[in-house]
Every structure is written in C-alpha cells, then in structure tokens.
Amino acid sequence: MNLAIDVGNTLAKAALFEQNTLKKQIERLDEQALEYLLAQEKIEKVIISSVNPYSETLANLIPADIDVIKLSYLLPLPIEHLYQTPQTLGMDRVAVAVGATILYPSANRLIIDAGTCVTYDFIDAQNIYHGGSISLGLQMRFRALHEFTAKLPLLSQADYAEGRSFIGNSTQTSMASGVVNGFVKEIEGFIELYEEKFGDLQVIFCGGDAAFLSPKVKPKKAKVEHQKDLLFIGLNTILLYNQF
C-alpha cells in the first residue's frame, strides 16, 4: 500500500492507494490518525507534499522501515515544466498538474484548486506545465472584507443563497453577492484568457471549495469537471514514477 499525505495551509489529509487504485481517504490527518493508520494498514511507501511545517511532525511518526519521499522541485516528475523559479513552486500545484495528465491525457488542461488560496495551473497537450496564477480563496475574501473594515461582518459561503438575485438588498446579501459572483466571474475570465491563447480547454476543479464553486462557473466553450481526488492521484503517480 502507498500512502499520500498532503499538508496544506489549513489542514492535513491523506489517501491510501494499492498501486493506482485509491482505497481510502482521511479528510483530517493528525498524529493520532496517522499512528492508527500505520498500525492498521501495511504501508510500504509514503509521499508527503507540504506547504506547512506540520509535515515534519507527521514524518517523524513514520517508522524507519517505510520508504518516504518528500515532494520537492528536485524530484523527477512525469511532466516537463517552464517555471522559472521551481524552488518556489508549491508542491500541491505540481501534484494536481500531474494528476490532470493521468485523468485527461492529450488535452490542454486548466486546473483550478480552490482552497485557502485559489491557484490556476495550466498544462498543455504535450504535458508541459506552464505555470499559472495565485489569488485569494473564498474564505480569505470574506475575511478581508471583515478584517479591513470597521463594520462589515464576517460571512462565509453559507451566507450565499442559491438562486438569489445578484443585486444584494442588504449589507449581508451585497457582500455575499460581491464575493461569490465576483469570484465566479474571475474564474470565467481566466478560462477565457486560456481559451484565447490555447484553444480547446479542459477545466478541472479541485480543493475544498470546488464543489461549491464549480457548478456556478459557466464558460462559453470549455468543459468543466470537479475531481476531488486530483491531488492524491498526482501524488501517487509521482510516487510510482520514483519507485526505489
């Protein structure tokens, strides 16, 4: 069994694979959950992707007889890239790009990872990763309105009412409309830019807010799908690519 661990800005998650088959996901991984997993499953290899020092705490719990790969820009990858500063490239962005090559081979792919931040990552039909964009995630946008003003309340996606007019008729509905509809239009605008430059496009959503946002995004031509396991598929692919 292979274990893929992703330590993000907000929380850690994990997935168990048997070769290419995803067997189990752990939505919130902490020390206790990892120790239980290691005791219950016969894990042979682990890959860790991290943007948070908490990954070291988790890594220290893994027994010495289990092979561990820490995803870094020095690790061989099954894709090429044009990124000028690979040492600063978030490893979660690398993982979703690799996952997209597995699920959508021979397509121009725009991956939208909607989490604490939202990242836009483009990999072309020749499996060359170009880079993309980084912006504020959904909750960060709500928090900015609250924390950088004197009176605006702190809202969340739960305050956005489906089917309501985009014209807010109260402070709360105006804020919810501005954040959610503004975010959706930003996403649609990026999709249009990539379509203008590269032509046909497959858009893949992942991340914690993907299920909320992806149905609202209506590009003119591009196909849009939500792949909640994209990052883990990418991590496992990289692990298999670096068999040792």
CA 183, 185, 189, 195 dihedral sign is positive
Q: Which two tokens stand for residue 58?
A: 């988790």
Q: How far apart are CA 130 and CA 122, in angstroms?
A: 6
d(CA 98, CA 234): 5
Burial class of residue 145 in the structure, from the number of CB atoms within 10 Å of its CB (0-12 exposed, 13-18 middle, 19+ buried): middle
Q: Which residues pair with 136 in a beta bridge?
A: 117
Helices (H), the chain: 31-40, 54-59, 91-103, 138-147, 171-198, 210-213, 230-241
- Which amino acid does the sequence have at 155? L
| Side-chain half-sphere exposure of 21, counting CA atoms within 13 A | 3
6 is a catalytic site residue = no
The Cα 215–Cα 217 span in angstroms is 6
**Marked catalytic residue, from 6, 65, 67, 92:** 92
57 by Cβ neighbours in 10 Å (0-12 / 13-18 / 19+) ranks as middle
- Residues designated as active site: 92
